[in-house]
C-alpha cells in the first residue's frame, strides 16, 4: 500500500492506476478506523478495481477545538488495517495541504446543512462538504463510499454531488454494529464501561420505533415512544430526535405513510452518539 502524504503523490498514484486501466473507489475517513470503515472499503472494492482511502481529521467540521484535539489519532494501526483490507493507497495530508492560508472557497448545501444536527453543530456540514469536494478533486475517484450512520451527512454529500454535477457515484453503506447492536463509532472507545453498556439504548429505541412504524403510527406518537424508551436509561440524555422525510429531510407531521428517517443523538457524559434508521410503513 502506498502511503501518500502530499497531493502530488496521491495524484501520481491514481494516474498510474488509471493508466493501468483500473477504476478507483474512494473511502474518506478521519482515521481511528474500526470495522465500520473496513466495511466501506469492502463496499468500494465491490464497485471499483482499486480503493484509495484518505485519513484527515478535518478541522473545519469541528465547532469546538477541544473536540478536535480529543479526536482519537491511531495512525499506525489505521495504516495496518487499510493495508490488510487491500487498499491501494492512503492519502494522509497535513491541514496546510488541504486549507491554504488564503483559501476563501467553501461548499455548502444551504438547506440540508443547516437543519437537524446542523442547527446544533453550525458549520459542521459545510466543513464536511467542503473537505469532501477537495478530496474528490484531489483523488478523482469513480465511486466514493459513505456510511449511512451519519444519514444527514450522506444526504448532504448526495445533494452536493447532484447540484455540482460531480461525476462520482456515491455508495451508501449500512451501519456496522457491535454484537449488542451499538453502531460502531470512533467515539465509542471514549465511553466509560458503564456508558458503553448503556449506549445500546440507541439501537433498542430504533428497533422499537421500527416496529411501531410497521404497525402504523403518527409522528407525534412515535416521538413520544422513542423519548420514553431513551428515558429508561438514566445514563443517557436525549439531545436530538428528528423524524423526517427520508430523502429531503423535511419535517413530517401526522400519520407516517412513506419512507421516514429517524435520527437520534444521545449524550453519555460529554460523548455524543448518533444513530439512525430509515423505516417504511408496511
If binding is defined by CB under 6 A, does position 29 make contact with ligand PAF? yes
Nearer CB in complex with ligand PAF: 58/88 = 58
Which distant-in-sequence residues (6+ apart) come within 8 Å of 199 by Cβ?
182, 188, 191, 236, 266, 268, 273
If binding is defined by CB under 6 A, does position 132 make contact with ligand PAF? yes
Q: Give me the least distance between CB of 26 and ligand PAF, in Å please.
A: 10
Give the CA angle between residues 84, 87, 93 to the nearest 5°.
115
Does the annotation mark 124 as catalytic?
no
Nearer CB in complex with ligand PAF: 184/226 = 184
Instruction: Give kind and range of the element (H or E) at residue 12.
Output: helix 7-19
Q: Which of 28, 36, 93, 141 is close enough to bind ligand PAF by CB under 6 A?
A: 28
Instruction: Give kind and range of the element (H or E) at residue 153.
Output: helix 151-163
Helices (H), 54-123: 65-70, 75-84, 95-98, 117-120
* 3-class SS letters over 187-249: HHHHCCHHHHHHCCHHHHHHHHHHHHHHCCCEHHHHHHHHHHHHHCCCCEEEEEEEEEECCCC
Binding mask 31-70 for ligand PAF (x = CB under 6 A): ---------------------------x--x---------
Instruction: Give kind and range of the element (H or E) at residue 26.
Output: strand 24-29
Among the listed ranges 7-15, 27-35, 111-119, 202-210, the one in contact with ligand PAF (CB under 6 A) is 27-35
Number of residues in contact with ligand PAF under rule CB under 6 A: 10
Which distant-in-sequence residues (6+ apart) come within 8 Å of 15 by Cβ?
none
If binding is defined by CB under 6 A, does position 128 make contact with ligand PAF? yes
Nearer CB in complex with ligand PAF: 177/235 = 177
Task: List binders of ligand PAF among 138-157 (CB under 6 A).
Answer: 150, 153
Q: Which of 32, 44, 90, 131 is close enough to bind ligand PAF by CB under 6 A?
A: 131
Nearer CB in complex with ligand PAF: 142/150 = 150
- The residue annotated as part of the active site, out of 37, 117, 124, 214, is 37
Q: Give me the least distance between CB of 48 and ligand PAF, in Å please.
A: 17
Gap between the Cα atoms of 205 and 187, Å rounded:
20
Nearer CB in complex with ligand PAF: 61/217 = 61
Q: Facing residues of 52 across strands?
A: 26, 89
Catalytic residue numbers? 37
> Which residues in this chain contact ligand PAF in the complex, by CB under 6 A?
28-30, 58, 61, 128, 131-132, 150, 153
Amino acid at each position: 500500500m502506498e502511503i501518500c502524504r502530499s497531493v502530488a503523490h496521491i495524484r501520481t498514484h491514481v494516474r498510474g492506476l488509471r493508466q493501468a486501466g483500473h477504476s478507483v473507489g474512494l473511502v474518506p475517513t478521519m482515521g481511528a478506523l474500526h470495522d465500520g470503515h473496513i466495511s466501506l472499503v469492502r463496499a468500494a472494492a465491490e464497485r471499483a478495481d482499486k480503493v484509495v482511502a484518505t485519513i484527515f481529521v478535518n478541522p473545519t467540521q469541528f465547532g469546538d477545538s477541544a473536540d478536535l484535539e480529543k479526536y482519537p489519532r491511531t495512525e499506525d494501526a489505521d495504516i495496518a488495517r487499510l493495508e490488510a483490507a487491500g487498499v491501494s493507497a492512503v492519502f494522509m495530508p497535513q491541514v496546510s495541504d488541504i486549507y491554504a492560508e488564503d483559501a476563501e472557497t467553501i461548499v455548502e448545501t444551504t438547506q440540508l446543512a443547516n437543519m437537524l444536527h446542523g442547527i446544533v453543530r453550525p458549520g459542521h456540514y459545510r466543513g464536511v462538504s467542503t473537505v469532501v469536494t477537495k478530496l474528490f478533486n484531489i483523488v478523482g475517484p469513480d465511486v466514493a463510499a459513505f456510511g449511512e450512520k451519519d444519514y444527514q451527512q450522506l444526504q448532504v454529500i448526495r445533494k452536493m454531488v447532484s447540484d455540482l454535477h460531480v461525476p462520482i457515484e456515491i455508495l451508501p453503506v449500512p451501519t456496522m454494529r457491535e454484537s449488542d447492536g451499538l453502531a460502531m463509532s470512533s467515539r465509542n472507545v471514549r465511553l466509560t464501561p458503564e456508558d458503553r453498556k448503556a449506549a445500546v439504548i440507541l439501537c433498542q429505541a430504533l428497533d422499537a420505533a421500527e416496529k411501531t412504524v410497521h404497525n402504523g403510527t403518527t409522528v407525534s406518537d412515535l416521538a413520544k415512544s422513542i423519548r420514553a424508551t431513551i428515558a429508561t436509561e438514566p445514563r443517557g440524555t436525549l439531545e436530538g430526535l428528528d423524524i423526517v422525510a427520508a430523502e429531503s429531510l423535511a419535517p413530517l407531521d401526522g400519520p407516517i405513510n412513506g419512507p421516514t428517517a429517524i435520527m437520534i443523538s444521545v449524550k453519555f457524559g460529554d460523548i455524543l452518539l448518533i444513530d439512525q434508521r430509515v423505516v417504511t410503513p408496511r
